Amino acid sequence: MRFGLYILRRLLLSIVVLLGLSIIIFVIARVVPGDPARLSLGPRAPQDVVDALRKELHMDRPLPEQYWIWLTNALQGDLGKSLVSKRPVIQDVAQYLPATLELVFFAAIFMIFFAILLGTLAARYKDTWVDGMIRTLSYFGVSIPAFVVAILFILLFGYFWPILPVLSRASPSFSIPTITGFKVLDSLIAGNIPAVWDAFKHLILPVVALALGGTFQEARITRSGIVDNANKDFISAERGYGISERTIWFRFLLKPSLIPTVSVMGLDIAATIGNAFLVELIFNWPGLSRYGINAMLQKDLNSISGVVLIIGIVFILTNILVDIIVAFLDPRIRLGGVRGK
Amino acid sequence: MENEMLLDIKGLQVWYKVYGGFLKVLDGVDFYIRKGERVGLVGETGCGKTTTMKSILRILPERDSKIPQGEILFHNTDILRMHAADLHRVRSKGIAMIFQDPTAALNPVFTIGAQLQAVIRTALDVKRKKDQTTVKKTAIKALKEVSLPDQERLLGNYAIQLSGGMRQRVCIAMAITTPRDLLIADEPGTSLDVTIQDQILRLLKELVEKTSTSIILITHSLGVAREMTDRIYVMYAGNMVEMTRSRELFRKPLHPYTQGLLASIPKLTGGGVARGIPGQIPDYLNPPIGCRYHPRCPKVMEVCSLRKPRFYEVDSDHEVACFLYEQ
Amino acid sequence: MPDNRTVSLTNNYNGKLSGWSRFWTGFKKNWYHYSRNKLSVVGLAIVLLVILLAIFAPLVTPYPAHAGPYVDYPNAGQPPSAKFWLGTDPIGRDIFTRIIFSFRGALLMSMLVLAIAVPPGLILGLLAGYYNGTIIDTIIMRITDIFLSVPPLVLALAIAAVLKPNLINAMIAVTVMWWPWYTRLVYGMASSVRNDYFVIAAELNGASRFYILFREILPNCLSPVFTKMALDVGWVILIGASLSFVGLGEQPPTPALGQMVSDGARYMPELWWMTIFPALAIVFVILGFNLMGDGIRDMLSASR
């Protein structure tokens, strides 16, 4: 029950944070660029057209009122119209968001799985060549920006070794009805197994490009978590009672060591979402980030604010989710030292 | 009334690897305990008590420690040279160790029940899901033995939810889930309130009397040792320096170190301030040659810095490692 | 285990040494800890190399003019050769020279961003930690949370996009989203140190807030801050490269690493050197700062 209250508090706090974020977004989109109306119409538009647009965008009202109008609209789902696609922003978001979510989701899975694998190997074979190799790889892995990996992948798999597709989400030969927007899921629902595999293949390269840095960083944290815990008394005690090495490694040692790793996941997912802006562009992945970066480059202010807002919401929710998982793993957080009955 | 020998440590040396060489902590430890005995091990912090005990179960840090010499005979088989299967049997059925700090000895992210049941399953050779009820019943029984209430609920609790005294009782419960030949209690209750410590020690005494399990009680308190044990070893800097029956140690301490220890106990009557022992414990990286106590010994002789004394028998059941008593 | 060397240095000689001698002894001790890990030394070497190359760029590069407005179409798209070590770009400029010159913008950006973002972040963290539990704490940390609620690169892109694309605006964008990380870092430490006895003692003695914050609490928070700053130089360079990859940041003809990667990508795979070398340069620089940052962290934690 205590934990339920903790979640509720987080959610309420998030609303406050989102409100603050909305103010910042509003400032960025409306106040900073000077004259948004002029900006969107271009330097050659006649002044009266610009003025008409200003009136339409409520720019003649005082700023707080403008903010209020914008906010109330946003809460009802109206994020304005995109200057580029000429459609309501919310529609664009709905179309492109699932693709990005799919990427981030699979990137997170990749990160956790391989981080645990590499970290455990490095700890198990501490100070041997395995450990040294993983450590060296980690240094490089963490230092290569995602967009560089993406470019290298395009070079490698696009030209020299075309075993994996480098563009889009699926081959045009498959047409799957869009239900959830997640190609893998939709293909599963449609029962089209080759399509599932095809969607998967398209995911591999962008997901790996996004996840690489985070994977290695978390691998190192996992390793140091295991190494720290391996010398603790409770592990010696368990060994002293005859509990098998296997059980110790896969159960009693692993669980406490994963906690710092999962705690860092939030940050790594942030990095993933950020990097997606470039990686989606490179792979021509039709996701929200590619839409966003294009909006930014074309100064499509409504789209920019919509995208940043949505990403803010997604990220805050993801953080809460990560915190829930950490609390699930670590009873010390859940129970906060409450005694006995 | 000579009972059979249960555990016999002979000439144990243990080294820890550190930057710059080896910490030669244990330098030829001799120790024995017979069936049904209660033996105390007294010594100041850092003298090697816990290291000795950990060597028995072979739970020293694998990579950073080394046992260059020594034998640990349990039921006449050398633990240090045992194969995995025999070692497993020693750990799961023969010897159980209760660690000093109960908070550190319990896995913080697993329930008490999970840990107890893991120990029980190992001891009873039970496969994972079978006999779950028996295992659970054994766990509850163990918790009852250590006077913990509300056992069923306790199984689902985590260490963080328990008070210090309760955690210590849980650690004891783990050690007595199945009958063992030998219990090792490393400074039980030291990290707790004196009143709680008293309860814990009383509990241990009861348990030992009930089952006539042998017990090695490690403590840095002479008073506790005297109350709870039949025989006491005094340890200094990696060696046993004196061993005798508990009453005898206080009546007639022979080793200068023991005498110094007893003199440093403040007395409520008699006036005056207690005398301490000048100096510090030696640097294990470069330990003194000869008797390790000689730099601080008020009765030091020339031979003390040249050779190491072994245990000399002064009386029946009273041995001292000091050249003063060399025959 | 008493370490004889440390004991004699700190106990016997410190009081009698002059300021510079003390500095040198401290430096030697720290260097001993730092150089234990060979990789950290490699990192330091890389960082020093990059800094020197950046400072002396016009002197060490074969074609300094190529870093400015310069075209040489006959030499466009040349592969690496003795004349152009890393090849030339689509309009004939030497890639090696341009990479070295791009270090200038990258380093300048990192240092300025950190110089501007860290002090306010630090101070806010100190204040929030000191006034832990009060409304000041709440306000500061909520504002910090707001800025941290969006992934860093996203915010930087958004801000840089609505401003005119140039180096200054890119720096502004990154600075705005960088300070909260330091606030959070310092807040954690300040709020726990805040209740330590020496702070309470100072308060009881009537020390001014200023004194307590800067002379008592701050020194205890500095090590992780320094480590983070060393690592952050690399990260700011990374974000800077990401920004210039999409055209925000340094504008042509001034070379920027990300922009070079993006320009060259169009000519893959035939003219691969146009992308690969700038990409490798990015990795090289970031690697250097990462290794160095790790070394600093090990050094600071060892000398505790």
Reported as a pLDDT band with limits 50, 70 and 90, residue C303 is: low
Both structure tokens of C94:
């030497």
Q: Nearest chain B Cα to C1, which residue?
A: B283
CA separation for the pair A321, A333 (Å, rounded): 14
- Min Cα distance A320 → chain C (Å) is 11
Any A CB within 8 A of B18 CB: no
| Per-residue CA distances from A125 to A118, A332, B207 (Å) | 11, 30, 42
For chain A, what is the mean pLDDT? 84
Provide the phi-psi class of B286: left if phi over 0, else alpha when psi is between -120 and 50, else beta: beta
- Min Cα distance A181 → chain C (Å) is 23
Any A CB within 8 A of B118 CB: yes
**Helical (H) or strand (E) element with A320:** helix A301-329
Any C CB within 8 A of B286 CB: no
Interval C88-136: pLDDT, tens: 888 888 889 889 999 998 999 999 999 999 999 999 988 888 888 788 8
Rounded to 10 deg, the angle between the C218-245 and C95-130 helix axes is 140
Return phi, psi of residue C206, to 5°.
85, 20
Instruction: Say if residue C278 is preceded by a cis peptide, omega within 30 of 0.
Output: no
For residues C240-244, give the mean pLDDT: 91
pLDDT at C4 > cutoff 50: no
CA separation for the pair A295, A307 (Å, rounded): 9
> What is the predicted ipTM?
0.86
- Residue-level pLDDT at C5: 42
pLDDT at A240 > cutoff 70: yes
* Residue ranges in chain B whose pLDDT is less than 70: 1-2, 128-129, 267-274
- Residue-level pLDDT at B2: 59
Residue C198 and residue C216 in contact, taking contact as beta carbons nearer than 8 Å = yes
Chains contacting A (3 or more CB pairs within 8 Å): B, C
CA separation for the pair A47, A50 (Å, rounded): 5
Any A CB within 8 A of B61 CB: yes
Domains in chain C with CATH codes = 103-302 (1.10.3720.10)
- Residue-level pLDDT at C6: 40
Does C287 sit within 8 Å of A143, measured CB to CB?
Answer: yes
Looking at per-residue confidence, does A197 or A116 come out higher? A116
Question: Between B and C, how many CB-CB pairs are < 8 A?
Answer: 6
pLDDT at C11 > cutoff 60: no
Does A292 sit within 8 Å of C162, measured CB to CB?
Answer: no
pLDDT at C141 > cutoff 70: yes
Does C1 sit within 8 Å of B285, measured CB to CB?
Answer: yes
Interval A163-191: pLDDT, tens: 777 776 766 666 666 666 677 777 777 77
- Min Cα distance C12 → chain A (Å) is 35
CA separation for the pair C81, C76 (Å, rounded): 13
CA separation for the pair A28, A67 (Å, rounded): 12
Does A145 sit within 8 Å of C241, measured CB to CB?
Answer: yes
- Residue-level pLDDT at A176: 65
Chains contacting C (3 or more CB pairs within 8 Å): A, B
- Residue-level pLDDT at C116: 93
Of B101, B108, B150, the CB nearest to A332: B108
Of B101, B122, B158, the CB nearest to A241: B122
Question: Between A and C, how many CB-CB pairs are < 8 A?
Answer: 130
Q: Which of B115, A295, B244, B239 is nearest to C161 (CA)?
A: A295
Any C CB within 8 A of B265 CB: no
Residues of A with Cβ-Cβ distance to C150 under 8 angstroms: 21, 308, 311-312, 315
Residues of C with Cβ-Cβ distance to B285 under 8 angstroms: 1
- Residue-level pLDDT at C2: 45
- Min Cα distance A128 → chain C (Å) is 16
DSSP type of residue B31: E
- Report the Cα–Cα distance between both ends of chain A, in Å, rounded: 14
Any A CB within 8 A of B110 CB: yes
Does A236 sit within 8 Å of B59, measured CB to CB?
Answer: yes
Any C CB within 8 A of B283 CB: yes
CA separation for the pair A23, A64 (Å, rounded): 10
Question: Between A and B, how many CB-CB pairs are < 8 A?
Answer: 92
CA separation for the pair A217, A211 (Å, rounded): 10
Amino acid at C238: L
CA separation for the pair B215, B228 (Å, rounded): 10
Can you give the pTM of this predicted structure? 0.82
Alpha carbon dihedral B229, B233, B234, B237, in 10-degree steps, equals -130
CA separation for the pair C87, C72 (Å, rounded): 13
Task: Tell me which of A2, A232, A234, A333 to substitute to probe the interface with B (most B C-beta atoms closer than 10 Å).
Answer: A234
| Per-residue CA distances from B310 to B10, B153, B243, B304, B326 (Å) | 12, 53, 12, 11, 9
DSSP result, A254-307: HHHHHHHHHHHHHHHHHHHHHHHHHHHHHHT--SHHHHHHHHHHTT-HHHHHHH
Domain boundaries, chain B: 5-325
Provide CB contacts within 8 A for C75, sequence distance 6+.
C84, C88, C92
- Residue-level pLDDT at C298: 82
Q: Nearest chain B Cα to C3, which residue?
A: B283
Reported as a pLDDT band with limits 50, 70 and 90, residue A339 is: very low
Any C CB within 8 A of A24 CB: yes
Residue B291 and residue B322 in contact, taking contact as beta carbons nearer than 8 Å = yes
Return phi, psi of residue B40, to 5°.
-100, 150
Reported as a pLDDT band with limits 50, 70 and 90, residue A55 is: confident
- Min Cα distance A127 → chain B (Å) is 10
Q: What is the CATH code for B5-325?
A: 3.40.50.300
| Per-residue CA distances from C195 to C122, C131, C137, C198, C224 (Å) | 19, 11, 15, 8, 19
Task: Tell me which of A11, A143, A155, A268 to substitute to probe the interface with C (most C C-beta atoms closer than 10 Å).
Answer: A143
Interval A11-22: pLDDT, tens: 888 888 988 998
Least confident of A156-165, C14-23, C248-257, C262-271: C14-23
